[in-house]
């Protein structure tokens, strides 16, 4: 099969690293060659962050480039819009609707665009938007936004529930596993 | 027993070093190299430590190598500038047991102040350098590096880059082999590098390079991969190899170089003979290209590819567009979904909510102090709205730049702007203290502010000599900053709490006015430390808020302004109380 590309985008500190590692373990379990490219260091401090996950028979480059992302899983609408040009022609965006203002917006130097989801759709993107924060909070912790998003995204993949559960269990620390499984379920059915 | 798993490049290096029998590791943290040493530290049957800087770390590893065990040290590219001194002469002395040094470059400057290409160091110091292109190679090359180090009696550089260090891919590991330490062998002619001895060692270095070139011709680290397409041959190494394969597929003819110094000669000639034309694809400087041209072989390289920034598959595809290839390039049909119909505000990294540096930067900015900065999280103090830093050069340069700047004021008109410098606790230990000694010795009157957040923050919370904990978080020696500054002969040393703006104000105005050298230690542990408990978030009393925006001047990401007044995000606010000290109307309330 040709290599599939996933991008996880968000704000530094939102938990995209864990999401990418769950995906990595899932895909490894399904027998694919996998590469995951992470961000460490400076931009983690509340900056725009992007993680790439690629899988297929044989994966070379660790990064996803413009026009290539089959999926963009986004923690924040503005970040989904920022990386829009990376979406493949038939790609899909799964985004949290929770807005996080960047510093230029907080200081009044820039404006947060209104109705970003509508604007992305108007630009031709296929967008599935939902409130992942409420789902995560309902599951027991706002920190589980990452797993709620993965739950929602799981609808669009052909992997079994068991495969997702295994990936969660091999990635998430045991004391958080029940809460995260719940966030995954709620996200999937939200 | 072998086991296949997804591993970060840095973790794979650590596992490779461990499986190769490494016993001693000493490093200074630096993105993107940090996790190699952190992961090694999880193996409790070997010795690992954080050193105050890269030069110290490298020399510790050298000592351990002489002492008979395989040793290691890791640093980022600019760290090798600091460790260059031992490197160049260690090339002459050679090693005892194997010695491997990771140097991690940062093309694209994800977390660095420059984009230097560390391959030049390998060439200049005449030591071998290996460059893996994914995690599997990270693991294999770490092991091979020790073999080469012992076989050729030389330290070996293992060059990583951000995309290799911080990408995960599949690795098969084999487990740690038996460790047999060597005996220390006294050899003055080899290890005492005074002129007479060094003169005899230099030809040995040159002979070693010749032997290494021989090795490079047939080493499995270099692979000549001839495909069905022979019109074009690509020479590359590291991540560039992955982009090339991504774009051109299996049919392309590629010479992949895993040993990037010294480079082979015959192998390159053979490859050049087998293809019609050659392109060298390498990030940053034309190191391989220059070598190929020196051999008298025609090739393309930097006439097509950029010197700046990291590459990607699209960049390679775009530039190779007219070249013959057999790969299936998904990139050739760009999408028309490009952008939303509105400008997208940037999202730069920011100082965290409750960051202890904020109060001090606010005070400096308010008093219009000219501030010489340093390397660390607190470089973010240069961003709006605080914009409190004028310069950032390299580790430790704040103290020294200020000293030089002050002396320039005696000439010409100068202005009356007060000056100070800021430096973190870890950076001060790294190389700030030598600058402070210089200022004290030469009678300077600087105001030096040590931003002591009791951790090495930017690289992700590593301990340092001022924290009293070692690499494992166990109790260790603790350098007392106040006592150290006094020992240098500085009498004006004071400690302030940066959460207390009045204290900061008094210290900054008094010390910048003083006619002698003074040190302000701005002390408060990083708000992200697990040991630091957040206080309840503040609340805004909407009736009292007059929307004066005074609280917005500190750039705390937890505060924003709406038409109804200030709002505090209670998921971000850690209750530091700094904003409340700015509100003249008592609208920001501390919860009981
Ligand atoms: S400083 Fe006080 S009164 Fe002024 S905007 Fe902030 S909360 Fe409102
Ligand atoms: S108390 Fe004020 S300055 Fe401190 S974290 Fe909360 S909102 Fe930010």
CATH assignment at residue A27: 3.40.920.10
User: Looking at the structure, do residues B169 and B24 belong to the same domain, yes or no?
Assistant: yes
Residue B530 in domain: no
User: Looking at the structure, do residues B67 and B93 belong to the same domain, yes or no?
Assistant: yes
Report the sign of the C-alpha dihedral through residues B391, B396, B402, B407, in that order.
negative
Closest CA to B376 of B345, B355, B362, B405: B355
Residue A71 in domain: yes
The tens-digit pLDDT sequence of chain B (592 residues) is 456 899 999 999 999 999 999 999 999 999 999 999 999 999 999 999 999 999 999 999 999 999 999 999 999 999 999 999 999 999 999 999 999 999 999 999 988 999 999 999 999 999 999 999 999 999 999 999 999 999 999 999 999 999 999 999 999 999 999 998 999 999 999 999 999 999 999 999 999 999 999 999 999 999 999 999 899 999 999 999 999 999 999 899 999 999 999 999 999 999 999 999 999 999 999 999 999 999 999 999 999 999 999 999 999 998 988 666 555 554 445 667 788 999 999 999 899 999 999 999 999 999 999 999 999 999 999 998 999 999 999 999 999 999 999 999 889 777 889 999 999 999 999 999 999 999 999 999 999 999 999 999 889 899 999 999 999 999 999 999 999 999 999 999 999 999 999 999 999 999 999 999 999 999 999 999 989 999 999 999 999 999 999 999 999 999 999 999 999 998 889 999 999 999 999 999 998 7
Residue A35 in domain: yes
Is the complex ipTM more than 0.85? Answer: yes
Residue B73 in domain: yes
- Look up the CATH number of the domain holding residue B319: 3.40.50.920
Q: How far, in Å, CA of B81 to CA of B152, rounded?
A: 24
Q: How far, in Å, CA of B280 to CA of B265, rounded?
A: 15
Closest CA to B557 of B577, B575, B579, B572: B572
> In the Cβ-directed half-sphere of B585, how many Cα atoms lie within 13 Å?
15
Residue B127 in domain: yes
A135 with A148: CB under 8 angstroms? Answer: yes
User: Looking at the structure, do residues B391 and B242 belong to the same domain, yes or no?
Assistant: no
Give the β-pairing of B419-424 and B447-452: parallel
Closest CA to B327 of A3, A67, A7, A17: A3
- Look up the CATH number of the domain holding residue B488: 3.40.50.970
B128 with B148: CB under 8 angstroms? Answer: yes
> Which of A39, A44, A113 lies at the smallest CB-CB distance from B340?
A113
Q: What is the DSSP letter of B431?
A: I
Terminal-residue alpha carbon distance, chain B: 58
- Look up the CATH number of the domain holding residue B584: 3.30.70.20
Residue A94 in domain: yes
Angle between helices A132-139 and A177-189 (to 10 degrees): 140
Residues 137-156 of A with CB under 8 A from B: 142
Does the N-terminal peptide bond of residue B385 adopt cis geometry, omega within 30 degrees of 0?
yes
Residue B484 in domain: yes
A45 with A51: CB under 8 angstroms? Answer: no
Sequence-distant (6+) residues with CB within 8 A of B350 are: A45, A46, A47, A103, B380, B383, B555, B557
Terminal-residue alpha carbon distance, chain A: 31
Pair of tokens at residue A174: 């045991």
Residues 418-447 of B with CB under 8 A from A: none
Q: Report the domain count for chain B.
A: 4
Residue B480 in domain: yes
A112 with B345: CB under 8 angstroms? Answer: yes
Is B266's C-beta closer than 6 angstroms to any atom of ligand 1? no
pTM: predicted TM-score of the whole model, two decimal places:
0.95
> Which of A59, A102, A116 lies at the smallest CB-CB distance from B347?
A102
Residue B529 in domain: no
H helices of B302-393, in order, are 313-320, 357-366
In which element (H, E) is residue B503 found? helix B501-513
Q: Report the domain count for chain A.
A: 1
Q: How far, in Å, CA of A133 to CA of A143, rounded?
A: 8
Residue B168 in domain: yes
Closest CA to B149 of B10, B27, B15, B17: B17
Is B565's C-beta closer than 6 angstroms to any atom of ligand 1? yes
Number of the ligand 2 atom closest to the C-alpha atom of B554: 3
Range of the domain at B19: 3-218
Which chain B residues are within 8 Å of A43, Cβ to Cβ?
A: 110-111, 349
Range of the domain at A12: 4-132+161-172
User: Looking at the structure, do residues B366 and B310 belong to the same domain, yes or no?
Assistant: no
């Amino acid at each position: 099969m040709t290599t599939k590309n996933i991008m996880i985008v968000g704000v530094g500190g939102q938990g995209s690293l864990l999401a990418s590692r769950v995906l990595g373990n899932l895909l490894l379990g399904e027998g694919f060659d996998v590469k995951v490219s992470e961000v460490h260091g400076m931009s983690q401090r509340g900056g725009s962050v992007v993680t790439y996950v690629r899988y297929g028979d044989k994966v070379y480059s660790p990064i996803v480039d413009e026009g290539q992302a089959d999926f963009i899983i986004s923690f924040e609408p503005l970040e989904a819009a920022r990386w829009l040009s990376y979406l493949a022609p038939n790609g899909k965006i799964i985004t949290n609707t929770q807005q996080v203002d960047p510093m230029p917006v907080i200081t009044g130097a820039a404006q947060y665009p209104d109705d970003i989801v509508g604007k992305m759709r108007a630009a031709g993107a296929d967008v599935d938007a939902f409130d992942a924060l409420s789902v995560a909070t309902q599951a027991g912790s706002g920190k589980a936004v990452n797993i709620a998003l993965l739950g929602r995204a799981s609808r669009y993949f052909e992997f079994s529930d068991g495969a997702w559960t295994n990936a969660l269990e091999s990635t998430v620390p045991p004391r958080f596993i029940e809460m995260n499984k719940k966030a995954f379920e709620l996200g999937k059915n939200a | 027993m072998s086991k296949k798993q997804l591993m970060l490049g840095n973790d794979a290096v650590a596992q490779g070093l461990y499986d190769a029998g490494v016993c001693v590791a000493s490093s200074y943290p630096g993105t993107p190299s940090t996790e190699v040493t952190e992961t090694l530290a999880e193996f409790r049957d070997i010795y690992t430590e954080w050193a105050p800087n890269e030069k110290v770390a490298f020399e510790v590893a050298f000592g351990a190598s002489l002492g008979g065990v395989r040793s290691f040290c890791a640093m980022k590219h600019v760290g090798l500038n600091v460790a260059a001194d031992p490197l160049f002469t260690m090339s002459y002395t050679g090693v005892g047991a194997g010695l491997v040094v990771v140097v991690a470059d940062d093309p694209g400057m994800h977390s660095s102040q420059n984009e230097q290409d560390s391959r030049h160091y390998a060439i200049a110091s005449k030591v071998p350098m290996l460059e893996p292109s994914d995690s599997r190679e990270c693991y294999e090359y770490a092991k091979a590096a020790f073999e080469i180090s012992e076989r050729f009696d030389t330290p070996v550089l293992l060059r990583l880059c951000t995309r290799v260090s911080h990408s995960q891919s599949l690795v098969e590991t084999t487990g740690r082999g038996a460790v047999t330490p060597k005996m220390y062998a006294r050899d003055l002619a080899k290890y005492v590098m005074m002129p007479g001895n060094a003169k005899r060692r230099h030809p040995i270095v040159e002979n070693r390079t010749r032997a290494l070139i021989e090795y490079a011709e047939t080493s499995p680290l270099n692979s000549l991969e001839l495909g069905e397409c022979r019109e074009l041959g690509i020479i590359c190494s590291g991540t560039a190899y992955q982009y090339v394969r991504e774009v051109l597929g299996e049919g392309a003819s590629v010479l992949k170089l895993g040993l990037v110094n010294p480079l082979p000669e015959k192998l390159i000639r053979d490859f050049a003979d087998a293809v019609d034309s050659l392109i060298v694809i390498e990030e940053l400087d034309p190191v391989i290209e220059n070598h190929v041209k020196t051999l008298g072989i025609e090739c393309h390289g930097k006439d097509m590819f950029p010197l700046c920034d990291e590459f990607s598959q699209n960049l390679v595809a775009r530039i190779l567009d007219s070249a013959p290839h057999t790969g299936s390039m998904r990139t050739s049909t760009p999408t028309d979904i490009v952008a939303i119909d509105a400008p997208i505000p940037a999202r730069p990294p920011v100082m965290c909510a409750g960051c202890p540096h904020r109060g001090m930067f606010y005070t400096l900015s308010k008093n219009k102090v000219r501030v010489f900065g340093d390397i660390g999280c607190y470089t973010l103090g240069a961003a709006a709205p605080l914009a409190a830093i004028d310069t950032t050069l390299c580790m430790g340069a704040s103290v020294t730049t200020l000293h030089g700047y002050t002396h320039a004021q005696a000439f010409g008109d100068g202005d009356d702007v007060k000056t100070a410098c800021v430096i973190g606790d870890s950076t001060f230990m790294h190389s700030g203290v030598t600058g402070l000694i210089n200022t004290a010795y030469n009678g300077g009157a600087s105001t030096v502010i040590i931003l002591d957040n009791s951790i090495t923050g930017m690289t992700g919370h590593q301990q340092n000599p001022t924290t009293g904990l070692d690499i494992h978080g166990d109790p260790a020696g603790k350098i007392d900053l106040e006592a150290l500054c006094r020992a240098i002969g500085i009498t004006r040393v004071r400690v302030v709490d940066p959460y207390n703006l009045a204290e900061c104000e008094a210290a900054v105005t008094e010390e910048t006015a003083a006619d002698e050298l003074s040190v302000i230690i701005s002390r408060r542990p990083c708000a992200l430390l697990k040991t630091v408990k957040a206080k309840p978030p503040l609340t805004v009393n909407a009736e009292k808020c007059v929307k004066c925006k005074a609280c917005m001047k500190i750039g705390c990401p937890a505060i924003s302004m709406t038409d109804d007044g200030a709002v505090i995000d209670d998921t971000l606010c850690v209750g530091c109380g700094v904003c409340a000290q700015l509100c003249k109307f008592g609208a920001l309330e501390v919860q009981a």
